[in-house]
């Protein structure tokens, strides 16, 4: 059944891809105006910054998973400044066209899609590192990674030996079928100011927001990226492919009873872990599980 869900998702992705191909071609032909991300705090351009965003701000109702993820970033920030933005403070740093706000909330142009524009805008204007509020760190981020002009985790062409585990866990995201187009993780991105991939992706997505009546696909951000990096314009600017499975391993075992050996093995593979707060939100965290210990700040001492 899950394999069928993956296969049935491919035609939807392909339809959106064909539409995005038109926008990409128009951009390359100079028919789409380049959006220039203006830093409203120019003194921060090029600084070592971890950008994070939690729309409503952190308060007593915030998911425990989110709170612990944010704490982990603060713990392992090194010499980077952490700037956690909210729906009120983000506009002190960047601007977006008015049509974005007019369309927001309509036909799946939702807060998740808005956050895509926010991360691209911040990275284009200032550079730095974007970390979703559900990213959990278990060590400092590799300095070689932090020094790259651009980086995002992306799907490897060759499936890892345990690919089936990930496909079973999330068949709508994990697939190694060459026709499957959502192949990058937008939750963790690194860029220097004015990085061409970031800036051009932002321009194309803004044009899509401006002209389209429907978002078309949950992963249209990732699909657009995938189509872009196959063009000569951006192909050589893409980062070396580092697979997106290791950074999901902790989430895959999230409901399993905590095991110190498994946790240590996962940490050896990656210090960056993509989690989710939706189970916390619905009160579905099993007692004694990995998520239970993370949510209650006990996993490092268990």
Q: Looking at residues 161-186, what average pLDDT do you find?
A: 96
* Residue 116 to residue 151: CA distance in whole angstroms: 16
> What are the C-alpha distances in Å from 49 to residues 42, 69, 127, 199?
13, 17, 8, 18
Question: Which pLDDT tens digit goes with each residue over 200-211?
Answer: 999 999 999 999
Q: Which long-range contacts (CB under 8 A, 24 or more apart) does 11-14 make?
A: 12/217, 13/179, 13/180, 13/181, 13/182, 13/217, 13/219, 13/223, 14/179, 14/181
- Write down the H helix ranges in the chain: 2-28, 64-75, 98-103, 111-126, 143-146, 163-169, 196-211, 220-228, 232-235, 249-252, 260-269, 278-281, 290-295
* Residue 266 to residue 262: CA distance in whole angstroms: 6
* Residue 273 to residue 187: CA distance in whole angstroms: 10
8: pLDDT confidence band, cut at 50, 70 and 90?
low
| pLDDT score, position 88 | 95
Q: Which of the pair, 301 or 85, is modelled with greater confidence?
A: 85
**Does residue 4 have a pLDDT over 60?**
no
What stretch of H or E contains 300? none
* Residue 100 to residue 102: CA distance in whole angstroms: 5
Q: Looking at residues 52-63, what average pLDDT do you find?
A: 93
User: Domains in the chain, start-ordered, CATH in brackets?
Assistant: 2-239 (3.90.550)
């Amino acid at each position: 059944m899950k394999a069928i869900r993956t296969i049935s998702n491919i035609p939807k992705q392909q339809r959106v891809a064909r539409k995005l191909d038109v926008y990409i071609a128009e951009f390359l032909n100079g028919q789409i105006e380049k959006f220039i991300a203006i830093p409203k705090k120019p003194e921060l351009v090029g600084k070592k910054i971890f950008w994070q965003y939690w729309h409503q701000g952190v308060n007593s109702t915030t998911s425990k998973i989110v709170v612990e993820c944010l704490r982990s970033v603060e713990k392992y920030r090194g010499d980077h400044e952490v700037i956690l933005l909210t729906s009120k403070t983000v506009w002190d740093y960047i601007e977006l066209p008015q049509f974005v706000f007019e369309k927001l909330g309509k036909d799946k142009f939702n807060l998740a899609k808005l956050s895509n524009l926010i991360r691209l805008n911040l990275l284009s204007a200032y550079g730095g590192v974007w970390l979703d509020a559900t990213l959990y760190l278990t060590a400092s981020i590799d300095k070689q990674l932090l020094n790259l002009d651009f980086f995002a985790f992306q799907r490897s062409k060759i499936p890892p030996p345990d690919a089936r585990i990930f496909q079973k866990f999330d068949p709508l995201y994990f697939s190694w079928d060459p026709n499957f187009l959502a192949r990058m993780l937008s939750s963790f991105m690194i860029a220097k100011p004015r990085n061409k991939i970031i800036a051009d992706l932002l321009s194309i997505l803004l044009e899509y927001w401006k002209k389209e009546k429907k978002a078309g696909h949950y992963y249209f951000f990732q699909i657009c990226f995938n189509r872009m990096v196959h063009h000569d314009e951006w192909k050589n600017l893409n980062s070396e492919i580092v697979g997106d499975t290791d950074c999901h391993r902790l989430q895959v075992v999230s409901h399993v009873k905590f095991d110190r050996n498994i946790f240590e093995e996962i940490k050896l593979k990656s210090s960056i872990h993509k989690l989710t707060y939706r189970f916390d939100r619905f009160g579905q965290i099993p007692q004694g599980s990995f998520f239970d210990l993370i949510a209650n700040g006990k996993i490092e001492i268990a």
